[in-house]
Amino acid sequence: MLNQASSACFASLVASASVEISSRGHQLQELRDNFAPGTDVTITFLPGDNYSHNVETAAALRRAGFNPVPHIAAREIASRKMLDDFLSRLRGEADATRVLLIAGDVAAARGPFKSSGDVRASRLLQAHHITRVSVAGHPEGHPYLDEAARWACLRRGGTGDGRLARTSISSRNSVSRVRRSLRCLEGSRRAASIFLSLSVLRGPQRRRR
């Protein structure tokens, strides 16, 4: 049983929670039925996804009253021109001002961007007036990025706004590793602007074979 303080803390977390849907937007009706307008909704970018689908889903979310937060999978972006068009359409068609950067679950980059840090370094986020950038933390590991590379992304230049290291954590040991890694950033100019958002995992997670 949760005590009063824990209940209040949990209620606060739920009130500020976001929800995620696929790039095709098949869950849009469920969102309307279960979530209030103004909720942040992240949009996945899985291997092989076409970014046009992300743009269309982001636009549909905006029309429905939600705040679209598209994933940008760095290794899926084939060229700087493609990233420029992706961001231009997100701004023009969906009025998206926040994105979530991920490396992407492919072994080799399809273009010049190998990590979320490379996308930030392109300066295209600033050029398209993206005002809030979140970065996936992967504390339980990433199949194609080592730990040093993941945390180096948080030390590299960004948009200058408040950034958020977003991730899902399913074990206590992973939480401890994240805390140790964040301490390494203390004393830097960016340390105060990095926040950690823990996703609540619903039920057992199926392991990728």
Residue 190, pLDDT score:
46
Residue 138, pLDDT score:
60
Residue 82, pLDDT score:
98
Residue 104, pLDDT score:
87
Place of tokens 């273009």: 111
Q: Which two tokens stand for residue 181?
A: 């890694």
Residue 107 confidence class, pLDDT cut points 50, 70, 90: confident
Q: pLDDT tens digits, residue range 6-17?
A: 666 656 656 666
d(CA 86, CA 77): 9
34: three-class secondary structure by DSSP: helix
Closest CA to 97 of 136, 132, 70: 132
d(CA 6, CA 18): 20
Is pLDDT above 90 for 151? no
Residue ranges of domains in the chain, CATH in brackets: 17-199 (3.20.20.220)
Is pLDDT above 80 for 115? yes
Q: pLDDT tens digits, residue range 158-203?
A: 444 444 444 544 455 555 665 555 555 554 444 434 444 444 444 3
Q: What is the mean pLDDT of the chain?
A: 76
Residue 119, pLDDT score:
93
Q: pLDDT tens digits, residue range 30-65?
A: 888 888 899 999 999 999 999 999 999 999 999 999
Q: Residues 102-124: what's their mean pLDDT?
A: 90
Q: Which two tokens stand for residue 204?
A: 């057992």
